[in-house]
Structure 1
Amino acid sequence: MAFIEKSEPAAPRAAEAVSGNQLAAELAETLKLAVPLALTQLGQIAMMTTDIAFIGRLGSDTVAAAALAHTVFFVSFTFGMGLVSAVSPLAAQAFGARDPRMMRRALRVGLWAALFMALPLMALPFHGEAILLALGQAPAAAHLAQQYLFGLVWGILPALWFIALRGFMSAVNRPEPVLWITLAAIPANALLVYLLLYGKWGAPEFGLFGAGLATTLVNLGTFVAGVWFTARRQPFRKYHVFSRIWRIDWPLMGKLVAVGAPISLAFLLEYGMFGAAGLLMGLISTTALAAHQIALQIAAILFMVPFGVGMAATVRVGHAVGRCDPAGLRRAGYVAVALSGAFMSIMTLAVIMARFEIAAIFLGEATDTTARLTATLLLIGATFFIADGVQTTTAGALRGMNDTQLPLLFATISYWLVGFVSAYALAFRAGYGAAGVWIGLSLGTAVYATLLILRFRLLARTLLP
């Protein structure tokens, strides 16, 4: 009897050990994907920061024009990026199902979709000056912004093609080449911007057009490098993704659009809300707008890590869907969300503790009005940062299940009916000013994260038998 009493707990402990081993294995696989992807995103931020640093030497008017140009460009590019991002879940599901033919088809249809989308997307940057003038921007700034856009616009297609290749590489658990390419692109971008912006070492001095052209050349180079890896290096080579590439798979194209278009629209809703928040800050004061931009830049840097984890979640969940593994699906999603939540919690604590020092880095003096307001917004952002990390990772997990349409509805409700309305009401009706705008952003993001988690829980129980 005593033997039985001692032996009975053994089975639960064994089950817990197996579960613990599975969670540890899932965490290791998620990190293996997420770390290169997150570092790649940080590399993109590094290139943008380098561009602004070089452009800043031409004066504040030029920096303002570049900011306007980026606004126009990213509205256009974001739509294409969301559509091509659908390559990742489609290829990941095919990898989980051990269907190499479908993996080839997913990448090829993504490349074709990028080509079809790039041509109309280029129309917006080509008419950037007219758009900015219609929005009430100063003619001189709009004209300078158009020069930058003339250089940037040609990079849309190779950049979208590179995103498709990145999705394919991630789907086969090999995102490292994307990171290597990005790391090589950072100094190459800096050199090209330096040469073409200022006309150094015998290069023509193109000004803002040269800075945009440098970005285009770097986008083209990263795409060419991605093609070389995909066609020539294992394990990508064995999939023969470029064979018969001239054949367009229209049925799969329709599926990619059905999955990717809601991703694009959700990205635009999110991007639009933060743009609208900037406009609200501009109505409050220039001090509020400056503090908002600094706090938002910190949020953007922190966001890159959970965004990379979200891309890893898309792949890991897609693999589980492909092999019809409901337990693996749940494990992949929850581990990724927990990883993002833990990272953002640590970073949020660090930002809160160093908020005055962060303001001083950007502004020089931590005691002026703008610096104090920046520190206040970073403190309010404590809940925003965590919710933002959770929402992007959960959205990535849902994309792994091709679930993008209901999250689009959630984005509309959360970002605009809750977030923007709350930001406006708290800032102007309740009199909280800039703090009210950030409270509204935090509320909208928290609602979005909550709805996405509930959606994932529901689908994780019902999607697979």
Structure 2
Amino acid sequence: MVLSDYTKEFKYNWRLAAPVMLGMLGHTFVQFIDNIMVGQLGTAELAAVSLGNSFIFIAMSLGIGFSTAITPLVAEADAANDFKQGKLAFKHGLFLCTVLGISLFFMVYFAKPLMYLMQQPEEVVAFAIPYLDLVAFSLIPLIIFQAFKQFSDGLSMTKYPMYATILANVINVVLNYLLIFGKLGFPELGIIGAAYGTLASRIVMVLYIWWLLKGKEKSKNYVTNIKFFVLERSMLKKLIGLGAPSAMQMFFEVAIFTAAIWLSGLLGKNPQAANQIALNLSSMTFMVAMGLSVASMVRVGNQKGLQNYIELRRIAFSLFLLGTIFATCFALLFFVFHSELPKLYVDFDDAENLIDNTEVVAIASKLMLAAAVFQISDSIQVVVLGALRGLQDVKIPTIITFVSYWLVGFPVSWFLGKEEAYASFGIWLGLLAGLTTAAILLYIRFNYLTKKLIHSKHDAT
């Protein structure tokens, strides 16, 4: 094949992926605004949000990862014009996500005492615990929203979750401004204000996406007249079989970034705040790759439904190429502006915290260099993982992600992240090692699997 065979898919790939990217970027942009607002309060408060969210990210990874099982099943049913199977997949997915959201809330709520056992800075823990109570409760509407989002993506209606996320983001930013700083007569609640903003925006997000989908011809029959507790064991089993490995894949990746937060906490509040800055900036670019990953899952799922494996492979490679182009641009951006971007998060006019703020920016600037390098491997691994989910291949990729992040990445972070070694930069070298290993192994898996499917169909004919 020539290059144009792949690039001609860019326009459709972008049309499918862009709403997902914008929705996810919007969500991450709110965290960016949160961090800038909280950063004005001080480095301890910024580190506290980082520590609190580290628990939330682990729970979110399980919920969001599990919900991805809905998309390929709905995409496959949509391509085959099988409404009944599509509705079954959505209804059972919604039920499981609701149960999971409630379970994750209780898990995080009762895990708070672990903060005292993790040798984190005491000042940071004191701020983090009340913040975590409210944000943990917001997991329930967030995971329910994910069920609607993944269903909507499966029908290639990717713009509606984007609209819901944008509305939620506007509400979050406004409430944060009013409640963190006590503007327009509202109480000044500090980082607790940020938690209230998050909770309120996530409740609105669920209600709005349901209202949007209920009003659309293609989706209204799916999201109305749902017999929520009339369940079929076979569909539950299928969703759990796909969802549990996907949840573990996301958990293994998110957990190593969470481990980076905790390892940074062992170095002190300033390294932890610097880690949060680099993590937040990297998360924003990662959402572009995540958008392409969803497009990859949907388009591969459609082609799997049609059993057109040669076309499936061509479309997937066009997505891998597009992801690599974006990642290269972000890598250059991070490299060129590695010293300037962290300055957005701190107040250099704050004379009382000037020494802390200067140290935070210096550490974060170095971390941005590591983040620049892993843009490419991070993009490849997540877009290929989306393609594998579209193929409903989840077990081997789960093993690959565990090996990459926890047998390769974490030991590097642990040994190089000590004060006497490379400190914070060493932690991020471990992240780079894990992501690169995952990208290589997942690509090998996809390449092997698609060639095998093509040969099998050829032999059958």
Task: State how 1:351-430 maps to structure 2 within 5 Å.
Answer: 351-362=334-345, 371=361, 373-427=363-417
Structure 1 counterpart of 2:451, which letter? Answer: R
8 A contact 1:96–1:321 mirrored in 2:
no
Aligned with residue 295 of structure 2, among 304, 309, 312:
312
TM (norm. structure 1) is 0.87
Structure 2 counterpart of 1:388, which letter? Answer: D
Is the alpha carbon distance of 1:104 and 1:217 closer, same or farther for their aligned partners in structure 2, counting shifts above 3 Å? Answer: same
Q: Which moved more, 1:319-328 or 1:56-65?
A: 56-65
8 A contact 1:341–1:389 mirrored in 2:
yes
Aligned length: 447
User: 1:28 deviation in Å?
Assistant: 2.1
Structure 2 counterpart of 1:454, which letter? Answer: I
Q: Deviations over 1:285-309 (max 9, x none)?
A: 6665554443333222211100111
Q: Which runs of 5+ in 1 are unaligned?
A: 1-14
Is the alpha carbon distance of 1:439 and 1:24 closer, same or farther for their aligned partners in structure 2, counting shifts above 3 Å? Answer: closer
TM (norm. structure 2) is 0.87
8 A contact 1:171–1:315 mirrored in 2:
yes
Q: Which moved more, 1:395-404 or 1:197-206?
A: 197-206
8 A contact 2:55–2:108 mirrored in 1:
yes
**Counterparts of 1:112 and 1:332 in 2: how far apart (Å)?**
32
8 A contact 1:104–1:241 mirrored in 2:
no
Aligned with residue 134 of structure 2, among 151, 163, 171:
151
**Counterparts of 2:336 and 2:114 in 1: how far apart (Å)?**
42
Work out whether 1:453 is the aligned partner of 2:436: no
Aligned with residue 238 of structure 2, among 255, 263, 278:
255
**Counterparts of 2:49 and 2:365 in 1: how far apart (Å)?**
26
Residue 125 of structure 1: SS of its match in structure 2? helix
Identity %: 28
Residue 123 of structure 1: SS of its match in structure 2? helix
Task: State how 1:88-107 maps to structure 2 within 5 Å.
Answer: 88-107=71-90
Work out whether 1:340 is the aligned partner of 2:323: yes
In the other structure, the counterpart of 2:161 is 178
Q: Which runs of 5+ in 2 are unaligned?
A: 349-353
Is the alpha carbon distance of 1:439 and 1:193 closer, same or farther for their aligned partners in structure 2, counting shifts above 3 Å? Answer: closer
Structure 1 counterpart of 2:129, which letter? Answer: Q
**Counterparts of 1:151 and 1:71 in 2: how far apart (Å)?**
14
In the other structure, the counterpart of 1:216 is 199
Aligned with residue 237 of structure 1, among 191, 199, 220:
220
**Counterparts of 1:112 and 1:405 in 2: how far apart (Å)?**
23
**Counterparts of 2:169 and 2:56 in 1: how far apart (Å)?**
20
Residue 122 of structure 1: SS of its match in structure 2? helix
In the other structure, the counterpart of 2:170 is 187
Is the alpha carbon distance of 1:360 and 1:131 closer, same or farther for their aligned partners in structure 2, counting shifts above 3 Å? Answer: closer
Structure 2 counterpart of 1:404, which letter? Answer: V
8 A contact 1:150–1:209 mirrored in 2:
no
8 A contact 1:231–1:242 mirrored in 2:
no
8 A contact 1:292–1:374 mirrored in 2:
yes
8 A contact 1:33–1:175 mirrored in 2:
yes
**Counterparts of 1:386 and 1:92 in 2: how far apart (Å)?**
28
In the other structure, the counterpart of 1:3 is none
Aligned with residue 144 of structure 2, among 133, 148, 161:
161
**Counterparts of 1:341 and 1:47 in 2: how far apart (Å)?**
26
Is the alpha carbon distance of 1:434 and 1:142 closer, same or farther for their aligned partners in structure 2, counting shifts above 3 Å? Answer: closer
Name which one, 1 or 2, has greater alpha-carbon Rg. 1
Residue 248 of structure 1: SS of its match in structure 2? coil
Q: Which moved more, 1:37-46 or 1:421-430?
A: 421-430
Aligned with residue 96 of structure 2, among 95, 105, 113:
113
Structure 1 counterpart of 2:231, which letter? Answer: I
**Counterparts of 1:407 and 1:266 in 2: how far apart (Å)?**
7
Is the alpha carbon distance of 1:242 and 1:158 closer, same or farther for their aligned partners in structure 2, counting shifts above 3 Å? Answer: farther
User: 1:124 deviation in Å?
Assistant: 2.6
Q: Deviations over 1:367-423 (max 9, x none)?
A: 966655544433344431110011011111111111121111111111111112223
In the other structure, the counterpart of 1:436 is 426
Q: Which moved more, 1:339-348 or 1:430-439?
A: 430-439
In the other structure, the counterpart of 1:7 is none
Structure 1 counterpart of 2:398, which letter? Answer: L
**Counterparts of 1:430 and 1:130 in 2: how far apart (Å)?**
29
In the other structure, the counterpart of 1:295 is 278
8 A contact 1:151–1:210 mirrored in 2:
no
Is the alpha carbon distance of 1:432 and 1:322 closer, same or farther for their aligned partners in structure 2, counting shifts above 3 Å? Answer: same
8 A contact 2:121–2:268 mirrored in 1:
no
Work out whether 1:36 is the aligned partner of 2:26: no
**Counterparts of 1:371 and 1:56 in 2: how far apart (Å)?**
12
**Counterparts of 2:154 and 2:93 in 1: how far apart (Å)?**
14
